[in-house]
Amino acid sequence: MNDYFLVAAPQIDSHKADGKRIECVVFVATNGIASHRWVIQNTGALSLDIASLVDAGTAARVMQRLCEGETVLFYQTFALEQLELWMEDRARD
């Protein structure tokens, strides 16, 4: 099975003086047999990063939910290779 479901869980820093902020997002991809986990730091471009994985409308809804502290299940599946490349690009930024 090469189709993976993707879940994003925000880690919120609520100790900021200017309110809550996403510190990082934990992404977990699973196909029911294998799971892979990545942690992406929020460098200020998280919205653009997510928009490079899904369409802009979906990315905006995902970001809104993440900012509210919700865990998000993406409503499409991804090839593991696509996710690995995407995560590698985020780690370089």
- pLDDT in the model for residue 89: 85
Spell 52-86 as b/e; 16+ CB within 10 A means b.
ebbeeebbeebbeebeeeeebebeeebeeeebeeb
- pLDDT in the model for residue 42: 87
Please provide residue 67's backbone torsions phi and psi, each rounded to the nearest 5 degrees: -65, -25
- Identify the bridge partners of residue 5 per DSSP, sorted by sequence position: 30, 77
- Each of the 93 residues of the chain gets a pLDDT tens digit; together they read 589 999 999 999 877 656 678 999 999 999 999 999 999 998 888 889 999 999 999 999 999 999 999 999 999 999 999 999 998 887 765
- pLDDT in the model for residue 45: 87
- pLDDT in the model for residue 8: 97
- pLDDT in the model for residue 13: 82
